Structure 1
Amino acid sequence: MPSTDVDAAAALLIQLKDDNFGSDTTLGTLQKLKIYGRNFLVTNYIFKSSEETAIIQKYAKKNKSLQIRLEALRILANALLLRPTLRNLFQDADAIAVDYLDCTVEEEFVASRILFLATAENLTISFSIVQYARAKIEQHAQNYTHRSSTAVQETCKLLFNCLIRSSEGLLDQERLAGNVLTILSQLASTLESPASNLISCLVKLSAVNTGPYIDKLLAILENALQTEEFKKESVILPLLIVIYRTYNEAPESDVLQAVKQKILPTGEERKKPLGTAVSVSGGLLRLVTDPAFPTCRELAYQLFWDSSDQDARKFIHNIGLGYAVGYLVNHGIAVPQDIVENVKDETKYNPVTGQQIDEETHKLSDMTDEEKEREAERLFVLFERLNKNGFIKVENPIRTAVESGRFQELKE
């Protein structure tokens, strides 16, 4: 970084300290400093203490024009982002929270980002900042537009800080959660911001009835499980927490039924092995076998278990023994001994894969010899593991087939 850039930025800061210019000159000076301030080395040099940020803060006052205020706020936001040590030294957060209770969405976007950064490392958060965050969420609940989305995103990040670090943030949870849910209901059913930010706030709002919004939450989950960019544990986990909590706390039978209907495999899905369908149940079953989702895995399993009335037989019927055995073993739940022995029972489902047996037989005729061998090897390993764990004791059908001569290894 040329020293001339640092010197030029420092000179601009000195000019702004005097504040003896007209509005046009002041705006131009702030815009130049903003550009220089995007570089870490410049920001690290010129913003050494709260004294420098105080120079910029005076241009963020409401007695300045909108454009001047916005430029000043942007400079402060960049400084707090690039120089974290400034955050604990920043003394004007409360003033910003009070001044910008009533502001445009453009101002809110930057003001909320400043307040978020200023509170990121604080153990406590002042009442004025909490009041600002709650007031903004309420304003958006009453009059949300697509133009407000980025402002809501930043305010939700601030609100999350308030909820985990301020007792005032948790006051009147029902009203606050109602506002959060009202905004969420107006968004597309995806985990794009600000929906993901709103859901993260819901995780911290325990005293709330999300039952009436269960269809919206399940629609968001369905989209997330099919969208690669959202398939990250940190993104999906808050949503699964809210859905699981809704299921367990909802007194309404229609909520319980809505969850069961969405996450349990349908008859159509059972025409193929479970976990292959493009659906909520298919996505969750793929998720429980993905090592990148250790916490989501347990929540997903718990949803399946609770939706199966915590009954091992129903659980195995609903998701297949191949998926169910991991949960059952880890939780010390015995597998009914006759589950695998009675494959061709009245349900006509393969208890291991969950697939309809008549469909399975039909598909077998279409498989190549190599595909049949791979499937046989997969089932052999599964049965051997189940027997080794001691949760079921049955004859491995693949081993029986080999020993009886009904299974022959393919020639190279």
Structure 2
Amino acid sequence: MDVDVEGIIQCIKQGDENGVQIQLQEFNKQVASQKSLPRTHSRVQVSSTNNKSFFCLTLQGSTHQKALERGRKDRRESKMEGEEEEDEGELAEESLRKEAMKVLCNVVYNSTWAQERFSALSLMNGLIERISSSVNWSSPSSVQFYELRLMFLITALRPELNNQLQKVVGGVSILTAALESTLEVQWKEPYECVLDPAAPPISPEASQRIIEILKILFNITYSNHRQEPGEDDAALYRHLVAIILTDSVVISSQPHSHTVNLLTALPLQCLDVLLSVPLTPDSEQSQGVNMDCVHTLLLFMEHRLESGDKIKEKLTPILNLLTESCRAHRETRLYIRKHILPPLRDVSHKPEEGNTVKSRLIRLMTHLDTDLKHCAADLIFVLCKENVRRFVKYTGYGNAAGLLATRGLLGGQGVRNYSSSAQYSSDSDSDTEEYRQVRDRINPVTGRMEVPQPDPMEGMTEEEKEEEAKRLITLFSKLSRDDIIQPMGVDEEGKLVPLQGVGENPMTEDAKTETETDEGAEKEHMD
């Protein structure tokens, strides 16, 4: 009992309404012949309005149709005397189209076959035409949200369509226009826009459409993040950045995370719009540049640091965005460094202890999730101008080891001996007077000033010290042979490698012989 989908598609292509009705009515007859029909079984309805056939799938026993009829009844009862009746035909048509779009969203989401047919039938062109035609509508149809939802699903599930949507049909331009129309922005400068102060607050329905548009734009632009855009594309992306930086999108809690995600997907050079907003007396600033947008993003990151659930999904986009912005713009780096890495004065506690933003980020540098810990470490490293000495100074060698090992900087041979496009000014002595006074007492591994400990070898003779050293060598050798530990060293590139791979094993043959003799004596004594 299956629907002949291919036959229906052919009838639709040929404009054969009778053929579509015959196919679906035949399916309904088969359904009706079943004596025990599950409540969740689908039934196909066919209706004709204005000489056009519309069909949708509905669930028997569902309350949706009942709610629809009840809504119509309530509207009729609320009519004032003399008021014209609404066009029931248009309402019915829109309701059917909305139900059909809901079904398409479910089918595309759950069926690989449907996704392939969507691509083969070039339905993306028709979908983008629908959205383009409704951009300038004063009151968008309720169907538009589901059209956007369907486009988001297909761009997420079929990435090969993203290039078609972006290059062939101008999807970025059309979706940007849809976003601009939904927000009803007013332009002051080429890349500066504001909301109409006389306009009513954005409705929940409009907010939902904004979210879907931002998600689609992320899907179709993410692959171009590292590419050099052409002049026209760069202008379009800057236009888009200006729109999504309006107060309603940046500050509103719902679209906020999607805004950050989209900013991470756009070409880096187009993010200069973040800093192009004119200064006002109340503006946050750095080196004479407006930092209001950066400040908002910084507060957003701090808020995400405080949340305990889904921390990777919530934090990695904003951490990457701030890192790339700091690497590309000196003013942004100086401003964020002032808030995250102020001059080091108190070194009585470990860097990861406390509730400051710096402490929380440093704790993430040893997180179990590799992506998250690298994102946190990258931000701190860039704020330190990618200088190993300064990085270790602020985080401690123990916390910094992961990033340094990944980049081949454990040996500390160079400040930046890997590929980095950032250009930093020459390093200056940023040590505070308080730090200089205790610098020699700071443990470089923990990053804090340690309490002086008594010398464990105090009072021992030279012979006793030598015997203790041999005993320690024996213990380490035994742990290594039993695969309990693997001694590691640093190669010429500053990367961790097994100790035997770094030149010659430091344990000489004489030492090995003495170790084996000591082990034999120890075993004989135990026997």
Let me know the Cα RMSD of the aligned residues: 4.3
Contact 1:265 1:281 in 2 (8 A): no
Q: What's the secondary structure of 2:164's corresponding residue?
A: coil
Unaligned stretches of 5+ residues in structure 2? 1-33, 65-88, 186-194, 196-200, 276-290, 414-434, 454-484, 495-527
Q: 1:69-88 to 2 correspondence within 5 Å? A: 69-88=97-116
Q: 1:331-410 to 2 correspondence within 5 Å? A: 331-335=408-412, 346-347=438-439, 349-357=442-450, 389=490
Q: Give the structure 2 partner of residue 205 of structure 1.
A: 266
Contact 1:112 1:155 in 2 (8 A): yes
Q: 1:102-181 to 2 correspondence within 5 Å? A: 102=137, 103-104=139-140, 106-120=142-156, 121=158, 122=161, 123-125=163-165, 126-127=168-169, 129-141=171-183, 142=185, 145=202, 147=204, 148-164=206-222, 172-181=236-245
Q: Give the structure 2 partner of residue 263 of structure 1.
A: 340
Deviation string 1:82-138 (CA, Å, 9 cap, x unpaired) is: 334223434342343234323548544322101222334125115264443212222
Residue number among 336, 344, 355 corresponding to 1:278 in the alignment: 355
- In the alignment, the residues of structure 2 paired with residue 389 and residue 332 of structure 1 have an alpha-carbon distance, to the nearest angstrom, of 9
Q: Give the structure 2 partner of residue 404 of structure 1.
A: none
Contact 2:223 2:265 in 1 (8 A): no
More strand by share: 2
**CA deviation after TM superposition for structure 1 residue 8, in Å:** 6.6
**Distance change (3 Å), C-alpha of 1:246 and 1:114:** same
**Distance change (3 Å), C-alpha of 1:309 and 1:9:** closer
Q: Give the structure 2 partner of residue 194 of structure 1.
A: 255
Q: Give the structure 1 partner of residue 304 of structure 2.
A: 224
Q: Give the structure 2 partner of residue 310 of structure 1.
A: 386
Contact 1:33 1:75 in 2 (8 A): no
**CA deviation after TM superposition for structure 1 residue 72, in Å:** 3.6
Q: 1:79 corresponds to which letter in structure 2?
A: V
Contact 1:163 1:169 in 2 (8 A): no
Q: What's the secondary structure of 1:278's corresponding residue?
A: coil
Deviation string 1:287-337 (CA, Å, 9 cap, x unpaired) is: 111121x2333333232223223333322221122212333344235359x
TM-score (norm 2): 0.51
Q: 1:52-91 to 2 correspondence within 5 Å? A: 67-90=95-118, 91=123
Contact 1:87 1:117 in 2 (8 A): no
Q: Give the structure 2 partner of residue 47 of structure 1.
A: none
- In the alignment, the residues of structure 1 paired with residue 298 and residue 445 of structure 2 have an alpha-carbon distance, to the nearest angstrom, of 27
Q: Give the structure 2 partner of residue 320 of structure 1.
A: 396
Q: 1:284 corresponds to which letter in structure 2?
A: L
**Distance change (3 Å), C-alpha of 1:35 and 1:77:** farther
**Distance change (3 Å), C-alpha of 1:350 and 1:289:** same
Residue number among 233, 237, 246 corresponding to 2:316 in the alignment: 237
**Distance change (3 Å), C-alpha of 1:230 and 1:219:** farther
**CA deviation after TM superposition for structure 1 residue 240, in Å:** 1.6
Q: 1:111 corresponds to which letter in structure 2?
A: E
Number of residue pairs matched by the alignment: 324
Deviation string 1:154-187 (CA, Å, 9 cap, x unpaired) is: 1112112332479997761111111122254222
Bigger drift between 274-283 and 126-135 goes to 126-135
**Distance change (3 Å), C-alpha of 1:178 and 1:303:** same
Q: 2:255 corresponds to which letter in structure 1?
A: P
Unaligned stretches of 5+ residues in structure 1? 38-60, 337-342, 362-383, 392-412
Q: What's the secondary structure of 1:10's corresponding residue?
A: strand
- In the alignment, the residues of structure 2 paired with residue 357 and residue 180 of structure 1 have an alpha-carbon distance, to the nearest angstrom, of 49
Contact 2:132 2:178 in 1 (8 A): no
Q: What's the secondary structure of 1:275's corresponding residue?
A: coil
- In the alignment, the residues of structure 2 paired with residue 350 and residue 7 of structure 1 have an alpha-carbon distance, to the nearest angstrom, of 67
- In the alignment, the residues of structure 2 paired with residue 291 and residue 198 of structure 1 have an alpha-carbon distance, to the nearest angstrom, of 27
- In the alignment, the residues of structure 1 paired with residue 445 and residue 333 of structure 2 have an alpha-carbon distance, to the nearest angstrom, of 26
Residue number among 320, 329, 333 corresponding to 1:250 in the alignment: 329
**CA deviation after TM superposition for structure 1 residue 35, in Å:** 4.9
**Distance change (3 Å), C-alpha of 1:332 and 1:96:** same
Q: What's the secondary structure of 2:152's corresponding residue?
A: helix
Q: Which has the larger radius of gyration?
A: 2
Q: What's the secondary structure of 1:173's corresponding residue?
A: helix
Residue number among 110, 132, 136 corresponding to 1:98 in the alignment: 132
Contact 2:155 2:219 in 1 (8 A): yes
- In the alignment, the residues of structure 1 paired with residue 255 and residue 61 of structure 2 have an alpha-carbon distance, to the nearest angstrom, of 26
Q: 1:7-26 to 2 correspondence within 5 Å? A: 9-12=42-45, 15-16=46-47, 18-19=48-49
Q: 2:145 corresponds to which letter in structure 1?
A: F
Q: What's the secondary structure of 1:135's corresponding residue?
A: helix
Q: Give the structure 2 partner of residue 41 of structure 1.
A: none
- In the alignment, the residues of structure 2 paired with residue 139 and residue 19 of structure 1 have an alpha-carbon distance, to the nearest angstrom, of 30
- In the alignment, the residues of structure 1 paired with residue 236 and residue 449 of structure 2 have an alpha-carbon distance, to the nearest angstrom, of 51
- In the alignment, the residues of structure 1 paired with residue 363 and residue 352 of structure 2 have an alpha-carbon distance, to the nearest angstrom, of 6
**Distance change (3 Å), C-alpha of 1:169 and 1:196:** farther
**CA deviation after TM superposition for structure 1 residue 231, in Å:** 0.5
The one of the two structures with greater contact order (alpha-carbon pairs below 8 A, sep at least 6) is: 1
- In the alignment, the residues of structure 2 paired with residue 34 and residue 181 of structure 1 have an alpha-carbon distance, to the nearest angstrom, of 46
